[in-house]
């Protein structure tokens, strides 16, 4: 009897010790998320399953947030097997700010990811100044500085303006309140035609258009991203053609955290990615400066520390033997220093395919060239008349009422010129083959 009692006591003590040593569901969840941060997705999957089982044993409801995180693991595992070999030659911390872009933050006592609030226009201005995009690639502007944008306070992120100042793109709420992309085109009279960008799924943020107009980058937090906002890429064959189905370029451009902006200088093969992946450690957005690849090449996941390369934990690990990062940093400065090299807007009418009439002079027939030159001469004459009218109006406003009749006559003459020009322009369009 005594031996049986000792045995029961021993078993009871062992059970008590085992129960005391068993991790709580919260501890298991923390391990799962810690493994996610390390890009050890196989380990994370094991802990996520153990977490749901632990909840079930305690007769607690399933954690739907954790289930969604677990469901993303298969996408992350696939992405980890297809990490692009990208050279990152500079890393710039934008600066600590109290409120920044949405970021995924892991906390031991948390049952969910904790997003921080979106940055202010002042924060975006710091991003714009940090990148300092070369003129040949266009420019990034705050919406409040562009008079053609209505309700600039609703714009999410910077506005992209093309190098020739003819095209602008930005993100703002659409009819359903979800952010969509808008494109503005400056017309020959200086006004802007604005419309929603078709074929790009909502939500969409931070657009950037390559200078040829055929490649569009933007960000989205719609399923299925790798986590938070991801950079997406869409292409088309011509500016009059629809955008193809957007594609996710994967790692290391994207991460399990938020990537809020991606821009490139295709002329100099330089790219800038603004990411929140270092936010949990530094509380700072980071700008990685990249050397663009002519063709995509993926890393062999068995020959490198693929988790480190996918996350970009050390930019020097991305440098091949003999790579001179200083040379590329100097290349960035040289690209920024080139001023007044952007295309000059010729102010001639813009055709349906985006070309101007002056551009058509190079390829048109002799008859078409004569018609174009005649139309351009008439446009120039009308602009001179408009400038003269503006001068007379200014003098009239300053008290010189003697030119009242001349102003009325000039207004009638300009209206007539506009009507004749429209007829001449429509006739030329048919001659050039436009319907």
pLDDT, position 342? 38
In this model, does residue 343 exceed pLDDT 70?
no
Provide, rounded to the nearest whole percent, the portion of the chain with pLDDT above 90. Answer: 55
Q: CB within 8 A of 73, min separation 6: which ones? A: 41, 44, 45, 48
Provide CB contacts within 8 A for 95, sequence distance 6+. 126, 284
Confidence of residue 103 (pLDDT cuts 50, 70, 90): very low
What is the pLDDT, as a whole number, of residue 168? 96
- Dist CA 283 CA 64 (whole Å): 28
In the predicted structure, residue 122 carries a pLDDT above the cut 90? no
Q: Is the pLDDT of residue 240 over 70?
A: yes
The owner of tokens 């937090």 is 221
Round to whole Å and give the CA distance between 51 and 31. 9
Per residue in 259-308, pLDDT tens?
A: 999 999 998 999 999 999 987 776 688 999 999 999 999 999 998 899 99
pLDDT at 380 over 60: yes
Contact 83, 299 (CB under 8 A): yes
Higher pLDDT, 350 or 27: 27
Evaluate if residue 116 carries a pLDDT over 60: no
| pLDDT 10s digits, 132-179 | 999 889 999 999 989 889 999 999 999 999 988 889 999 999 989 999
For the CA atoms of 43, 48, 54, 60, the dihedral, rounded to the nearest 10 degrees, stands at: 170
The label of the residue with tokens 């808008």 reads: 182
**Whole-prediction pTM value?**
0.72
Whether residue 224 is preceded by a cis peptide bond, meaning omega within 30 degrees of 0, is yes
Query: Under 8 Å CB-to-CB from 131, ≥6 apart: which residues?
Result: 140, 263, 272, 274, 287
Q: How confident is the model at residue 16 (pLDDT cuts 50, 70, 90)?
A: low
Q: Where are the beta strands (DSSP E) in 98-214?
A: 139-141, 159-161, 167-173, 179-186, 192-196, 205-209
How far apart are the C-alpha atoms of 288 and 259, rounded to whole Å?
11
Instruction: Give the model's pLDDT for residue 104.
Output: 42
Q: Residue 64 CB: number of other CB atoms within 10 A?
A: 9
């Amino acid at each position: 009897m005594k031996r049986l009692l000792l045995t029961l006591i021993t078993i009871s003590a062992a059970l008590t010790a085992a129960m005391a040593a068993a991790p709580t569901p919260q501890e298991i969840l923390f391990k799962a998320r810690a493994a996610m941060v390390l890009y050890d997705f196989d380990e994370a999957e094991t802990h996520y399953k153990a977490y749901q089982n632990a909840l079930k044993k305690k007769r607690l409801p399933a954690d739907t947030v954790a289930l969604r995180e677990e469901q993303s693991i298969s996408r992350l595992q696939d992405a980890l097997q297809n990490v692009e070999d990208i050279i990152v030659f500079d890393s710039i911390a934008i600066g600590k700010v109290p409120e920044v872009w949405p970021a995924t933050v892991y906390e031991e006592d948390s049952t969910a990811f904790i997003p921080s609030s979106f940055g202010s226009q002042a924060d975006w201005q710091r991003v714009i100044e940090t990148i300092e995009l070369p003129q040949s690639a266009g420019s990034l502007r705050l919406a409040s500085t562009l008079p053609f944008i209505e309700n600039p306070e609703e714009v999410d992120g910077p506005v992209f303006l093309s190098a020739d100042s003819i095209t602008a793109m930005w993100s703002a709420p659409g009819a359903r309140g979800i952010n969509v992309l808008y494109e503005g085109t400056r017309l020959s009279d200086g006004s802007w035609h604005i419309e929603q960008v078709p074929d790009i799924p909502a939500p969409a943020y931070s657009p950037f258009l390559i200078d040829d107009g055929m490649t569009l980058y933007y960000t989205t937090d719609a399923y299925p991203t790798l986590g938070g906002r991801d950079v997406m890429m869409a292409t088309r064959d011509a500016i009059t053609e629809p955008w193809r189905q957007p594609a996710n370029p994967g790692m290391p451009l994207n991460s399990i955290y938020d990537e809020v902006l991606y821009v490139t200088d295709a002329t100099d093969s330089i790219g800038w990615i603004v990411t929140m992946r270092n936010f949990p450690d530094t509380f700072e957005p980071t700008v990685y400066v990249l050397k663009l690849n002519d063709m995509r090449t993926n890393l062999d996941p068995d020959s490198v520390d693929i988790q480190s390369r996918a996350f970009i934990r050390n930019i020097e690990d991305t440098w091949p033997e003999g790579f001179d990062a200083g040379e590329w940093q100097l290349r960035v400065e040289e690209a920024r220093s080139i001023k007044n090299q952007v295309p000059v807007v010729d102010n001639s009418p813009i055709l349906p395919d985006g070309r101007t009439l002056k551009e058509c002079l190079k390829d048109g027939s002799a008859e078409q060239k004569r018609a174009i030159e005649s139309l351009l001469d008439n446009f120039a004459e009308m602009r001179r008349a408009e400038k003269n009218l503006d001068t007379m109006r200014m003098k009239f406003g300053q008290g010189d009422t003697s030119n009242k009749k001349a102003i009325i006559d000039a207004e009638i003459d300009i209206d007539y010129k506009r009507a004749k020009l429209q007829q001449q322009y429509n006739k030329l369009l048919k001659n050039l083959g436009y319907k």
